[in-house]
Every structure is written in structure tokens, then in C-alpha cells.
Structure 1
Amino acid sequence: MLAEHLEGNIRFLQSVDSWEDGIQEAAAPLLKNGSITSAYVDDMIQNVHTNGPYIVIVPGIAMPHAKNEGGVNSTGVSYLQLEQPVVFPQNKEVKTFFVLAAEDSDGHLDLISDLSSVLMEDEIQDKLEASTSEQEVLDAIKMAE
């Protein structure tokens, strides 16, 4: 299920200027395909300003998300991998972003639990980190599904 949502929404970049840019770049495919609006991107960034870097769920990996207050048109997931880490508040370095956008809170929890089970496995984290193509990312995620 997670891999299906990710298809076509995976990007690789050298670096970003700030963690806010990281969230914007990570969310760009969902914005482009109409899954989310720019209001949702703003909400995800505001969440970190308000609540701190709680979206950095394991070292190196952030999972930006927000409540759907009209900014999510359809459920989607996007992925961004950076070569150079970007630093979140509290000096948390991040190279991998999974943006979650769910139409409702049930979908949200399903996505978070799918992703958590993927990220609990070191082997899969290592494979993601070594990925250089969309197919490699999808293959790594399918291993856990």
C-alpha cells in the first residue's frame, strides 16, 4: 500500500537550504499532482515551529504531516532523499523525508503505522539510505510490506 502511494513521488536532491525547504521540496510531488495544496505544506512547517522536531521519528528520517484542514485533496505519500543532511531544531540531522498526507485521521494512522513498520528494520533503513533511484526505494519498502 505504501509503495503504491509512493510511485512517481520520489525525489533525490543534493541539499536544501533549510529544514523548511526540505519539507517544501519533499512535498513538491504531492503539490504537483494535486494531492495537497500549499496550505498543507504551510501547516506541516508550522507544526514543527509549534511542536518542535517531533517529526524526526528515527535518526536521519523525518515524517512531515499535519491534520487535514482542507489542504489534502487525496491521500498521498512522497519521499525525498538528500545527499547532505539538513538540520532541524535541536540539532536533529535529516537526510530522508516521508511526507504523509491523508484525507482522514484513519488513513493517517494507517500510513504512519505502515511507515513505522518499514523504518523499524535497520536493513530497510540501510537500503533506503543507499538508494539512488525510485525503483530501489520502492523495492526496499516492498520488502517490509
Structure 2
Amino acid sequence: MTATMQDFLPDSAFLLDQPAEDWKAAIRLAGKGLEDSGFTTAAYTDEMISTVEKMGPYIVISPGLALAHSRPSEAVLHTGLSWVRLSTPVEFGNKANDPVSLVIGLAGRNEEEHLQVMSAIAKALSNPASKNSLNDARTPDEIRAILNG
């Protein structure tokens, strides 16, 4: 695949310093970024919320970070990401990693693309210096530059 981070994470997928009253509102923001970028339909946002309701807050993968996603479905039009930085962190119910201030929305058209994008995000976020820089980044271009390493 020759797609770039810009393809998977266009400017329209960013919602920076947004308020959310709870975890559902935070996931709805991630869904809005995916939908505004043409990656998903509104139904995918409901699928992401439903996944957490059924499976619990396993999407909170590290302190302060949730990777909102659901299985590939008809609601996914293209593989892509959204990036939501919350103005005030919210609780997802994950004692080890709450509260969450960064919600990354992930939509995969199929298992292969889903895993490729997840692995790129995991690699970028495994570096503590990168993770701290992401909190301070002010623009989509700055965030993409950090993710591209």
C-alpha cells in the first residue's frame, strides 16, 4: 500500500481541544471526524459505541489514550483515522488508563488495512517522546509529522 498518513488522516479528521461530557460524546467526536472525511457513515459511530457497551473499555489502550473502532462493516467506506484531543479528559471506565484526553477513531475497510493502520499508530505511540509531543502539537501538520517519525 502506498497511501500516506495524509491519506488516512486528512485535516478534516482532526478535532482538537474539543469538549465532551462523557465517553460516548468523545467517541461521537471521533465518529464525526471519520464521517466528515468520507471514511464512514454515521452508522459506524453507533457501531463503535456499541462495541464498548458490549466489550467494555478495552479501547483505552494506554494512559489517556483510546483507540475507538469497530469491526469492518458496510458502514466503512474507506480505511482512515480521526484524531480527537479533548479539552477536558473523560472517564471510560478503565481504571488503569483513565482519564482519556486523546481519542483516535479507526475505520478499516477490511482486516488487512485495519491491521496496517493500527500497527502504524501503535508504532508512533510507543515512543514516549512522540506521545508527549502529540499533546503539545497545535496543527494537523504537526501531528502528522510526529506520527511519521
- Provide the TM-score with structure 1 as the length reference: 0.92
Of 106-115 and 130-139, the range deviating more from structure 2: 130-139
Match of residue 138, structure 2, among 109, 122, 132: 132
Alignment of 1:21 onto 2:21: no
5+ residue gaps, structure 1, are: none
Q: Identity of aligned pairs, percent? A: 29
Deviation at 1:11, TM superposition (A): 1.4
Show the counterpart of 2:82.
78
Matched-pair contact (CA < 8 Å) for 1:12–1:80? yes
Show the counterpart of 1:35.
39
Distance in 2 (alpha carbons) for counterparts of 1:25 and 1:2: 20
Deviation at 1:2, TM superposition (A): 3.2
Deviation at 1:3, TM superposition (A): 4.3
Distance in 1 (alpha carbons) for counterparts of 2:59 and 2:84: 14
Distance in 2 (alpha carbons) for counterparts of 1:39 and 1:4: 22
CA distance 1:58–1:2, shift in 2 (3 Å): farther
5+ residue gaps, structure 2, are: none
- Provide the TM-score with structure 2 as the length reference: 0.90
Distance in 1 (alpha carbons) for counterparts of 2:7 and 2:35: 17
Deviation at 1:134, TM superposition (A): 1.3
Q: CA RMSD in A?
A: 1.3
| Matched length | 143
Show the counterpart of 1:100.
106
Of 22-31 and 101-110, the range deviating more from structure 2: 22-31
Secondary structure of 2:69's counterpart equals: coil
Alignment of 1:53 onto 2:57: yes
